[in-house]
């Protein structure tokens, strides 16, 4: 621990965001650079706790006090080694994770927590800049073969771990590019896709093979993979979205978030002109239904496309600004947050329920009707006389996901699923079908990148042990691990 009074001397600081009018003119990430000096000061706030709750709060078990100390001492190369020991892709989590580690940080009991996420992303960005991130080739090849279906964070983490253990790994992805939701869900302004590319280059150099544009269960029968590979790892995500089956849902101009966001991402990849995306908010009055992070991604995208106005609806009440008594440290703080997209404009409307959509004579949505609700005894009740109508030309549904796609891959394999339609697995991530494992959102249900990476790593350890009779790969979590609460 470099500075035993660091937490008393320095307050929490984060990098500033680029001015809103400037960043709305492009799609680049929103944060200004944060100097090494500032970062080392922030790292010095870490108290190197005897019981580091940050470490428990992180599903990956990141050894946070160690790298805080190493950064404070200017030992960046050691810091990236310590970080990579528990996390294959800190450039993803350092940008995108809601940071349950910070919610669990002991300093957060009576002060602001350590800026763990900023330290994490700064370590990995410096490591890439300095050329310290190089392919890690396996010491020996095992001759065993593994097919991974899905190239999101879970599939990529599993593939990298298994390749490094010496297995011959091929990742199958139905999309035209790799990355899962990192690629086509999360917008460029939250994470520039160059971060995925250079990690994929590293993985290719290590020996992982990739096949894009192949939907297993459609383009190749699942049985073909079962016959040609020793093991199959399913990492297909939870792609079935929740719908809003209310009157008027059929009008044109009402889309799911994951029908809308991929087009903006494809435009940023250069596949089409940003002005030519089939679904665009340009010049439109937009309503986003769903107050979560996916809704915020739609909000930032709509503003960059030149929306006339944006409302974001949430049926739950506005969260408190401080932790509620029922949400104490070290659980994840369920508090009111302002993301970069919220800072850019739009109206957040809480405690509101949409009743129906109204259309014009051409069959396009022109408005929606809604009312306020109160939440009591586990139920929503309508507030009398609170009905209102809001004109809109584009409605985006961002209401979460209800599980993995059943037809095709899962139907062909005959994997058992639970009541939420997630693929059932045992304590070793094995499905009910011999030789088939599952990790990430496909088994856990809709979750977070950090959990997907942790599951990918743990599943790889289980597969390696099954193939070889032993494993040296780490197993950060079991399938039933849950956030601190
Ligand atoms: C818009 C949006 C924004 C998000 N933002 C964040 C965030 O900021 N921070 C965060 O922590 N989490 C975020 N999440 C959640 C996070 O992205 C997911 O929890 C995570 O990506 C799950 O990883 P995964 O590898 O299990 O699945 P996915 O990332 O969903 O990847 C699954 C992949 O499998 C492929 N696939 C499926 N079936 C087949 C098949 N039969 N054959 C071949 N390929 C197949 C799919 O095409 C997909 O590419 C967000 C989610 C969404 C929708
Ligand atoms: S809980 Fe916070 S202060 Fe304690 S070791 Fe972890 S980051 Fe440092």
Ligand 2 mutation pick, 6, 10, 54, 109, max ligand atoms within 8 A of CB:
54
Q: Which ligand is nearest to the CA of 189?
A: 1
Q: How many Å lie between the centroid of ligand 1 and the Cα of residue 238?
A: 7
Q: Residue 21: which pLDDT band, with cuts at 50, 70 and 90?
A: very high
Q: How many Å lie between the centroid of ligand 2 and the Cα of residue 193?
A: 31
Q: How many Å lie between the centroid of ligand 2 and the Cα of residue 5?
A: 13
In this prediction, residues 246-274 reach a mean pLDDT of 97
Q: Residue 377: which pLDDT band, with cuts at 50, 70 and 90?
A: confident
Ligand 2 mutation pick, 79, 102, 105, max ligand atoms within 8 A of CB:
105
Ligand 2 mutation pick, 52, 61, 112, 113, max ligand atoms within 8 A of CB:
52
Q: Is the CB of 150 under 6 A from ligand 1?
A: yes
Q: Is the CB of 290 under 6 A from ligand 1?
A: no
In this prediction, residues 338-363 reach a mean pLDDT of 97
In this prediction, residues 205-210 reach a mean pLDDT of 98
Ligand 1 mutation pick, 236, 263, 442, max ligand atoms within 8 A of CB:
236
pLDDT computed for residue 1 by the predictor: 67
pLDDT above 70 as % of the chain: 99
Q: Which ligand is nearest to the CA of 93?
A: 1
Ligand 2 mutation pick, 5, 49, 72, 100, max ligand atoms within 8 A of CB:
49
In this prediction, residues 112-119 reach a mean pLDDT of 97
pLDDT computed for residue 484 by the predictor: 79
Q: Is the CB of 293 under 6 A from ligand 1?
A: yes
Q: Is the CB of 455 under 6 A from ligand 1?
A: no
User: What atom of ligand 1 comes closest to residue 444's alpha carbon?
Assistant: 26
Asked if residue 215 has pLDDT above 90, the reply is yes
Mind listing the pLDDT tens digit for each residue in 60-105?
A: 999 999 999 999 999 999 999 999 999 999 999 999 999 999 999 9
Q: How many Å lie between the centroid of ligand 1 and the Cα of residue 400?
A: 12
Q: Which ligand is nearest to the CA of 49?
A: 2
In this prediction, residues 451-476 reach a mean pLDDT of 98
* Ligand 2 cavity residues, CB under 6 Å: 46-49, 52-54, 64-65, 68, 105-107, 114, 116
Asked if residue 451 has pLDDT above 80, the reply is yes
Q: How many CB atoms lie within 10 A of CB 2?
A: 17
Q: How many Å lie between the centroid of ligand 1 and the Cα of residue 371?
A: 33
Asked if residue 431 has pLDDT above 90, the reply is yes
SS (H, E, C) the chain: CCCCCHHHHCCCCCCCECCHHHHCCCCCCCECCCCHHHHHHHHCCCCCCCCCHHHHHCCCCCCHHHHHHHHHCCCHHHHHHHHHCCCCCHHHHHHHCCCHHHHHCHHHHCCCCCCHHHHHHHHHHHHHHHCCCCCCCCCCCCCCEEEEECCCHHHHHHHHHHHHCCCEEEEEECCCCCCCHHHHCCCCCCCCCHHHHHHHHHHHHHCCEEEECCCECCCECHHHHHHHCCEEEECCCCCEECCCCCCCCCCECEEEHHHHHHHHHHHHCCCCCHHHCCCCCCCCEEEEECCCHHHHHHHHHHHHHCCCEEEEECCCCCCCCCCCCCCCCCCCCCCCCCCHHHHCCCEEECCEEEEEEEECCCCEEEEEEEEEEEEECCEEEECCCCCEEEECCEEEECCCEEECCCCCHHHHHCCCECCCCCECCCCCCECCCCCEEECCHHHHCCCCHHHHHHHHHHHHHHHHHHHHCCCCCCCCCCCCCCCCC
User: What atom of ligand 1 comes closest to residue 185's alpha carbon?
Assistant: 1
The pair phi, psi for residue 69, each rounded to 5°, is -65, -45
Q: How many Å lie between the centroid of ligand 1 and the Cα of residue 237?
A: 5
Q: Is the CB of 301 under 6 A from ligand 1?
A: no
User: What atom of ligand 2 comes closest to residue 46's alpha carbon?
Assistant: 8
Q: Residue 378: which pLDDT band, with cuts at 50, 70 and 90?
A: confident
In this prediction, residues 254-269 reach a mean pLDDT of 98
Q: How many Å lie between the centroid of ligand 2 and the Cα of residue 102?
A: 8
pLDDT computed for residue 109 by the predictor: 95
Nearest to 183 by CA among 191, 13, 20: 191
Q: How many Å lie between the centroid of ligand 2 and the Cα of residue 68?
A: 9
State the chain's mean pLDDT as an integer: 97
Cα(229)–Cα(125) distance, integer angstroms: 36
In this prediction, residues 105-126 reach a mean pLDDT of 97
Q: Are strands 309-313 and 285-289 parallel, antiparallel or unpaired?
A: parallel
pLDDT above 90 as % of the chain: 98
User: What atom of ligand 2 comes closest to residue 45's alpha carbon?
Assistant: 3
Q: Is the CB of 302 under 6 A from ligand 1?
A: no
Q: How many Å lie between the centroid of ligand 1 and the Cα of residue 184?
A: 9
In this prediction, residues 281-296 reach a mean pLDDT of 97
Least confident of 59-63, 163-167, 283-287, 480-484: 480-484
Evaluate whether 414 touches 125 at the Cβ level (below 8 Å).
Answer: no
Nearest alpha carbon, ligand 2 atom 8: 46
Q: How many Å lie between the centroid of ligand 1 and the Cα of residue 180?
A: 5
Q: Residue 390: which pLDDT band, with cuts at 50, 70 and 90?
A: very high
Q: Residue 2: which pLDDT band, with cuts at 50, 70 and 90?
A: low
């Amino acid at each position: 621990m470099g500075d035993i009074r660091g937490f008393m001397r320095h307050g929490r600081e984060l990098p500033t965001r680029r001015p809103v009018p400037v960043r709305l003119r492009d799609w680049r990430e929103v944060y200004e650079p944060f100097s090494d000096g500032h970062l080392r000061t922030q790292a010095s706030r870490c108290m190197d706790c005897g019981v580091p709750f940050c470490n428990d709060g992180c599903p990956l078990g990141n050894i946070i006090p160690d790298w805080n100390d190493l950064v404070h001492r200017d030992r960046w190369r050691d810091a990236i080694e310590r970080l990579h020991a528990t996390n294959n892709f800190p450039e993803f989590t350092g940008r995108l994770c809601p940071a349950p580690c910070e919610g669990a940080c002991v300093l957060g009991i009576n002060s602001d927590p350590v800026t763990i996420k900023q330290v994490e992303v700064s370590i990995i960005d410096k490591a890439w800049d300095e050329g310290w991130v190089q392919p890690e080739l396996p010491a020996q090849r095992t001759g065993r073969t593994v097919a991974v279906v899905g190239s999101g964070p879970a599939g990529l983490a599993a593939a990298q771990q298994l390749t490094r253990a010496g297995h011959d790994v091929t990742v199958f992805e139905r999309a035209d590019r790799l990355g899962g939701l990192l690629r086509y869900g999360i917008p460029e302004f939250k994470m520039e896709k160059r971060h995925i590319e250079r990690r994929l280059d590293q993985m290719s150099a290590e020996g992982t093979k990739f096949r894009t544009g192949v939907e297993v269960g459609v383009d190749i029968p699942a049985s073909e993979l079962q016959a040609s590979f020793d093991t199959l790892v399913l990492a297909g995500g939870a792609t079935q979205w929740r719908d809003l089956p209310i009157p008027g849902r059929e009008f044109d101009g009402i889309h799911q978030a994951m029908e809308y966001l991929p087009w903006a991402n494809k435009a940023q990849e250069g596949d089409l002109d940003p002005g030519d995306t089939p679904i665009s908010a340009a010049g439109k009055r937009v309503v986003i239904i769903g107050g979560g992070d996916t809704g915020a991604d739609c909000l930032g995208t709509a503003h960059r496309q030149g929306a006339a106005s944006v409302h974001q609806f949430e049926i739950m009440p506005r969260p408190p600004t401080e932790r509620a008594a029922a949400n104490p440290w070290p659980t994840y703080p369920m508090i009111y947050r302002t993301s970069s997209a919220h800072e850019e404009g739009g109206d957040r409307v809480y405690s509101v329920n949409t009743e129906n959509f109204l259309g014009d004579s051409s069959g396009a949505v022109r408005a929606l009707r809604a009312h306020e609700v109160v939440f009591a005894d586990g139920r929503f009740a309508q507030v009398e006389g609170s009905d209102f109508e809001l004109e809109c030309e584009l409605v985006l549904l961002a209401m979460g996901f209800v599980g993995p796609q059943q037809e095709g891959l899962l139907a062909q394999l005959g994997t058992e699923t639970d009541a939420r339609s997630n693929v059932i697995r045992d304590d070793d991530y094995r499905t009910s079908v011999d030789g088939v494992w599952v990790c990430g959102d496909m088994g856990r249900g809709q979750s977070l990148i950090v959990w997907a990476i942790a599951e990918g790593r743990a599943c790889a350890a289980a597969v390696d042990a099954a193939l070889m009779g032993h494993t040296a790969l780490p197993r950060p979590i079991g399938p039933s691990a849950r956030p601190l609460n």
